[in-house]
Amino acid sequence: MTVLFGVLLLTMLVVTAVAIVRTKNLFVAVMLLGIFSLLIAANFFILDAADVALTEAAVGAGISTVLFLGALALTSEFEKVPTPHRWLSLAVVTGATLVVLYATLDKPKFGDPGAPAHQHVAPWYLEHTPEYIGIPNVVTAILGSFRGYDTLGEVFVVFTAGIGVLFLFSARRRPAGRRKTAGLQDLDIGLRKDVIPRVVSRLLAPFILLFGLYVQFHGEYGPGGGFQAGALIAAAFILYALVEGEERTLQALPAGALVALMVGGAMLYGLVGLLGILMGSNFLDYSVLSEQPVSGQQLGIILIEAGVGMAVTGVLLSIFHAFAARDRV
Amino acid sequence: MAMLLDVASWILLSAGGVFVLVGGIGALRMPNLYTRMHAASVTDTMGALLVIAGIMLQAGLSLVSIKLAAILLFLLFTSPTSSYALASAALLAGIKPDAGSTADREDAP
């Protein structure tokens, strides 16, 4: 049954990918990219990778669609006339496809228990997570503790991307004095004229925030964690900004607070790592943070996940506001 | 009792499947955008309602049921809103809600 669903989803994935390449309308391409992300998220889910599926659905289908639309608002809706080197690109793509297809011949069969992925470190993680970390979600244990260096790197990549976008975009921001302060009754802003989206979005935004916090703090027990929670919390604010206008969202969570979240999240992660050294162990070893090694590990994971969530929220919302501000200049 | 629940659940799931199928056929066959949206909205409301109710009967009284109920509530709020947004955008783009029109089809004469 899983194979059947997998084949169906992958076929639809290929169809969507071809449609994305074929379409000349960039707006259609963005919508198809959202569908692509949802399909690949469903595919991850039937392969039991719930954490990855949640991230893909929140970031791929949600946030990046909004960011693409924000970028599209600054440019034209239609693709430019294709460049004349089409045969060259086709040859390169065909070559790369053949190489990848050749590489798949050596791969183990789907679900093969003897595959290297199931023989290398994965059994060790599965066996020792209850003993060392004591949390049910092994993915969070690997992400937060066993491979804490990798996640630290990912947070700093996200952080760097946020800084890069702010550098590129914030130079042309309007001076604060000229902004008119918007009242709640000013119907020209956002989608305020549309009563139904306005009412429903105002109703749902707090629950999306609540769900984001649930995903953040329930990450040790179920699918979720800082990355997914950050995307969900950012989505709630972006929804509010789309309906009520960017000004009121910036009043609720000012740009300075977003930068503080970005920097604070990355710093929190790094400082928890340094705390390990100060308490007499290695960088990012949480066992020494508490008297019991297991509860120390859990405390460390909660702290670094909070750092990840803060950094992701700050970066995504900063990027969104950077695009939105650019739109109005 | 368990048998009865299974039968009820299967009836709900099949009925939901029929509504989704009808919605899909309608979305393909209806003449213009507004009638197609009208057909597709059956999938969001009746289809989703019946399918989730069927799964809830399978899950019994548990945390899963409560989560499913939350998803259903979310769908009942969001899908009419997205339909409204789509129709409103189409109206703004200048597509006239004319019952006999096939003007917005790509294969229109």
Q: Average model confidence (pLDDT) for chain A? A: 86
Alpha carbon distance B4, A325 (integer Å) = 59
Cross-chain residue pair B74–A204, CB shorter than 8 Å: yes
pLDDT greater than 70 at residue A327: no
pLDDT greater than 90 at residue A36: yes
pLDDT greater than 70 at residue A25: yes
* pLDDT (mean) for B90-96: 84
Return the structure tokens found at A119.
């023989």
DSSP of A128-154, one letter per residue? Answer: HHHHHT--S-HHHHIIIIITHHHHHHH
Give residues with Cβ within 8 angstroms of A197, minimum separation 6: A191, A243, B81, B84, B85
**pLDDT top residue among B22 and A245:** B22
Touching check for A19 and chain B: CB below 8 Å?
Answer: no
Cα-to-chain-centroid distance, residue A114? 32
Among B77, B81, B92, the residue to mutate for chain A (most A Cβ within 10 A)? B81
Touching check for B71 and chain A: CB below 8 Å?
Answer: no
Alpha carbon distance B68, B64 (integer Å) = 6
**Which residue of chain A has the CA closest to B81?**
A197
Among A200, A208, A210, A239, the residue to mutate for chain B (most B Cβ within 10 A)? A200
Cross-chain residue pair A203–B77, CB shorter than 8 Å: yes
Cross-chain residue pair B81–A203, CB shorter than 8 Å: no
Task: Determine the distance in angstroms separating the CA of A204 from the nearest CA of chain B, rounded to an integer.
Answer: 8
C-beta pairs of A143-151 under 8 Å, 24+ apart in sequence: A143/A51, A143/A225, A144/A225, A144/A300, A144/A301, A144/A304, A144/A305, A145/A284, A145/A286, A145/A297, A145/A300, A145/A301, A148/A273, A148/A284, A148/A304, A149/A284, A151/A269, A151/A304, A151/A308
Touching check for A204 and chain B: CB below 8 Å?
Answer: yes
Alpha carbon distance A274, A272 (integer Å) = 5
pLDDT greater than 60 at residue B21: yes
Touching check for A81 and chain B: CB below 8 Å?
Answer: no
Name the most confidently modeled range: A195-199, A264-268, A321-325: A264-268
Q: What are the tens digits of pLDDT across the range A221-260?
A: 888 888 999 999 999 999 998 888 888 888 888 888 999 9
Number of C-beta neighbours around residue A102 at 10 A: 9
Cross-chain residue pair A200–B77, CB shorter than 8 Å: yes
> What was the pLDDT predicted at B100?
64
Q: Which residues of A touch B78 (CB under 8 A)?
A: 200, 204
Number of C-beta neighbours around residue A66 at 10 A: 22
Cross-chain residue pair A194–B88, CB shorter than 8 Å: yes
> What was the pLDDT predicted at A178?
46
Ordered by start, the domain boundaries in chain A are 1-81, 82-109, 121-174+187-329
Asked if A262 contacts A162 with a C-beta cutoff of 8 angstroms, the reply is yes
Alpha carbon distance A149, A282 (integer Å) = 12
Q: Which residues of A touch B84 (CB under 8 A)?
A: 194, 196-197
A259-A221-B74 Cα angle (round to 5): 70
> What was the pLDDT predicted at A187?
67
Cross-chain residue pair B78–A194, CB shorter than 8 Å: no
> What was the pLDDT predicted at B108?
47
Number of C-beta neighbours around residue A311 at 10 A: 28
Compute CA distances A297 → A141, A230, B60, whole Å.
9, 22, 36
Among B66, B73, B76, B77, the residue to mutate for chain A (most A Cβ within 10 A)? B77
Alpha carbon distance A155, A120 (integer Å) = 26
Touching check for A197 and chain B: CB below 8 Å?
Answer: yes
Touching check for A270 and chain B: CB below 8 Å?
Answer: no
| A197 burial via Cβ count (<10 Å: 0-12, 13-18, 19+) | buried
Give one word for A225, left, alpha or beta, with left for phi > 0 and alpha for psi -120 to 50: left
> What was the pLDDT predicted at A142?
87
Touching check for B78 and chain A: CB below 8 Å?
Answer: yes
**Which residue of chain B has the CA closest to A198?**
B81
Q: What are the tens digits of pLDDT across the range B27-81?
A: 999 888 888 888 888 888 889 999 999 999 988 888 899 999 999 999 988 888 8
Q: What are the tens digits of pLDDT across the range A103-129?
A: 988 888 877 888 887 888 888 888 888
pLDDT greater than 60 at residue A290: yes
* pLDDT (mean) for B72-101: 84
Compute CA distances B50 → A109, A136, B22, B45, B67, whole Å.
38, 33, 14, 9, 16
pLDDT greater than 80 at residue B15: yes
Taking each helix axis as running N to C, give the angle between helix A195-217 and helix A293-328, from 0 to 180 degrees, rounded to the nearest 10.
Answer: 150
**Which residue of chain A has the CA closest to B76?**
A200
Return the structure tokens found at A251.
């009043």
Task: Determine the distance in angstroms separating the CA of B66 from the nearest CA of chain A, rounded to an integer.
Answer: 14
> What was the pLDDT predicted at A307?
93
Q: Is A25 helix (H, G, I), strand (E, B) or coil?
A: strand
Asked if A249 contacts A237 with a C-beta cutoff of 8 angstroms, the reply is yes
With a threshold of 0.85, tell me whether the complex ipTM lies above it.
no
Task: Determine the distance in angstroms separating the CA of B57 from the nearest CA of chain A, rounded to an integer.
Answer: 22
DSSP state at residue A75: S
Asked if A218 contacts A51 with a C-beta cutoff of 8 angstroms, the reply is no
Touching check for B84 and chain A: CB below 8 Å?
Answer: yes
Residue type, A124: W
Cross-chain residue pair B84–A203, CB shorter than 8 Å: no
Query: pLDDT tier at A188 (50, 70, 90 boundaries)?
Result: low
